[in-house]
Structure 1
Amino acid sequence: MDQANRADTIRAIFAAYLSSNRKLLEDALSDDFRFTSPYDDNIDKPGYFERCWKNSDWIERHELERIFVEGDEAFVTYLCVARGGKRFRNTEFFAFDGDKVKRIDVYFGATYENGLFVRQSES
């Protein structure tokens, strides 16, 4: 798979959330897929769908700002706009195995609500 196709796969994954196309997402992820975020530690594909897919209806849209692909890896930075006015920017690292996504690691950015910075609680 070339770099343009990997970027298209990433765009399709984000679009799948907004169109509720779970099949597209399932087909894009490898069977041994893993996901890590500040809330999730290396969860598997079934865990990802349980934690992330079922709770995605709060997203109004994603604005993909940058996609950098190099070989079997890619970074995407996006602005997520939630229903109700909350906005935040994240970066995700994608690792591919052939034409499938094998891993996604999410790095959270700042959050804004109605144009104002929202301080996140420290734990």
Structure 2
Amino acid sequence: MSNHERQIRDLFAAYLGNDRQRVADALADDFRFTSPFDDDLDKAAYFERCWRDTGWIARHDIERIFVQGDEAFVTYLCLATDGRSFRNTEFFTFAGGKIRCIDVYFGAARQDGRFLPQAR
């Protein structure tokens, strides 16, 4: 397992453990976060806007991680404690031993192993 793959797996474990400090320690000082709802947030804005109690997450099933140099893709299925689930892909960049950037690509909601219809 590469160091970057280990960093990604450790980050997901920290989210699952609701360990905000461990997440903060994994992120570079100049960290940037982008998702369909958040455009180029810095580290402080990420924690202010995106961090919440992660106790609603039952587990993450990491399906694949591809690492090339200081970049990686991870695809995972997130299962919530209420039975909901969704599948996302995230693109990571690394610098100086830390996670420098995460770009999130949201997937469709899933239930009982099937995609739920999306509003158009």
Please give the TM-score of this superposition, normalised by the length of structure 2: 0.91
Deviation at 1:49, TM superposition (A): 1.1
Residue equivalent to 1:56: 54
Q: Deviations over 1:75-102 (max 9, x none)?
A: 0000000121111111000000120111
Residue equivalent to 1:5: 3
**Aligned equivalents of 2:32, 2:4: Cα separation in 1:** 18
Residue equivalent to 2:42: 44
Higher mean displacement: 54-63 or 38-47: 54-63
Residue equivalent to 1:73: 71
**Aligned equivalents of 1:90, 1:103: Cα separation in 2:** 16
**Aligned equivalents of 2:115, 2:59: Cα separation in 1:** 19
Residue equivalent to 1:117: 115
Distance 1:46 1:121, change over 3 A: farther
Structure 2 unpaired stretches of 5+: none
CA contact (8 A) 2:87 2:110 kept: no
Q: Deviations over 1:18-47 (max 9, x none)?
A: 112212111110111010011111111111
Does the residue aligned with 1:26 lie in a helix, a strand or coil? helix
Deviation at 1:48, TM superposition (A): 1.1
Does the residue aligned with 2:2 lie in a helix, a strand or coil? helix
Higher mean displacement: 11-20 or 48-57: 48-57
CA RMSD of aligned residues (A): 1.5
**Aligned equivalents of 2:117, 2:5: Cα separation in 1:** 32
Higher mean displacement: 95-104 or 112-121: 112-121
Distance 1:93 1:118, change over 3 A: same
**Aligned equivalents of 1:119, 1:41: Cα separation in 2:** 26
> Where does 1:6-45 land on structure 2 (aligned, <5 Å)?
6-45=4-43
Q: How many residues align?
A: 120
User: Percent of counterpart pairs with the same letter?
Assistant: 59
